[in-house]
Amino acid sequence: MKSFNFTVSEVMTKKTKPASNQLAFGKYFTDHMFVMEYHHKKGWYDGQIVPYQPLTLDPASMVFHYGQTVFEGLKAYATANGEIQLFRPEENIKRLNRSNVRMCIPPIDPDLALSAIKELVKLEKDWVPKAEGTSLYIRPFIIATEPNLGVEAAKQYKFVVILSPVGSYYKEGINPVKIAVENDYIRSVEGGTGEAKTAGNYAGSLIAQEIAEKEGYAQVLWLDAHEKKYIEEVGSMNVFFKIDGEIITPKLNGSILPGVTRKSVIQLLEYWDLPITERKISIEEIVEAHQAGHLEEAFGTGTAAVISPIGELNYNGEKLSINNQKTGEIAKRLYDTITGIQYGKIADTFGWINIIS
């Protein structure tokens, strides 16, 4: 890996760290952040670690008007023997660059992005929480900063990395969540931006999520845009079902986010020789499997959500209770194995761990 020199300005006074039982998700931020500029004539330049602070942007910055922005989400974990490690960061950086292509944002040298993340986490290693189920969430993002109101790709950008100590994403923790199947709004369509990690996909999803939350559901399950028939993904995670022994996840089709946890789950299931199929799966198939008593498990996967069992699906007012609203055997095994590897309790035979210090 190439090496890079970033200038580092450290804070004079460090913040008080929150207690681990207060963390929730994305509410606290560490003492420093990484910033780097892009200019079309210079490329990416001036990478720096600076005190965590507000960004000063021209109000005409193109990100505010046309939403040219991408982001990523990965985590740093503290192991029992005092190491700090990342889980498959190369996959997040590859996806960042794929999102960049879709959003007409210039690519970043993967080694440069990984060095920036590692240097920042190394400096902030005391912020990696140690309590069970906690970690340091890493949020790299890029915004278009060129002041210009013409609709075109910007010529200037900022790459920023911020860090947030987190607990579980859902208030339910690792207990099953309830999900409402969304029948009115759609998240994405093939050829759209669904497989890019870009802000607009999330902004457009909020209205459905707000409605679902009012009814007591954690998030929504999105259906395809053409027929509102085939399952795509949940708000912040990919989704898996176990029907009659077969584990099924929607096949990536251009409108589904290619999750790093999703990919790891598929690899683990294949390694365990369990039947895993990536294919189209309709909501009717789920309802029928439930009626026949064959819907054995459902769970979501994501960096923030890890493995999140789904205890109930609401489809058009019909409530499908899954596995008596208990965590299923496969979800538990995947959760234990993935978090075991992430926290260094299980040997990483897949080469997924990248040790920071």
Which of these segments, 54-62, 151-159, 299-307, 325-333, binds ligand COI (CB under 6 A)?
Answer: 299-307
SS (HEC) of 103-128: CCCCCCCHHHHHHHHHHHHHHCHHHC
Residue 93 as a binder of ligand COI (CB under 6 A): the answer is: no
Residue 302 as a binder of ligand COI (CB under 6 A): the answer is: yes
The CB-of-292 to ligand COI minimum distance in angstroms stands at 33
Tell which residue, 220, 133, 215, has the closest CA to residue 174.
133
Binding mask 39-78 for ligand COI (x = CB under 6 A): ----------------------------------x-----
Residue 238 as a binder of ligand COI (CB under 6 A): the answer is: no
The CB-of-347 to ligand COI minimum distance in angstroms stands at 25
Q: What is the CA radius of gyration of the chain?
A: 21
* Comparison of 145 and 303: residue with beta carbon closer to ligand COI: 303
Among 68, 85, 134, 236, binds ligand COI (CB under 6 A): 236
**Sign (positive/negative) of CA torsion 146, 206, 25, 253?**
negative
The CB-of-219 to ligand COI minimum distance in angstroms stands at 10
Among 177, 304, 310, 330, binds ligand COI (CB under 6 A): 304
| Per-residue exposure over 3-22, b if at least 16 CB sit within 10 Å of its own CB, e if not | eeebeeeeeeeeeeeeeeee
Tell which residue, 157, 219, 146, has the closest CA to residue 182.
219
The CB-of-236 to ligand COI minimum distance in angstroms stands at 4
Q: What are 227-230's contacts with CB under 8 Å, separation 24+?
A: 228/183, 228/186, 229/282, 229/283, 229/284, 230/280, 230/281, 230/282, 230/283
Contact footprint for ligand COI (CB under 6 A): 73, 236, 302-304
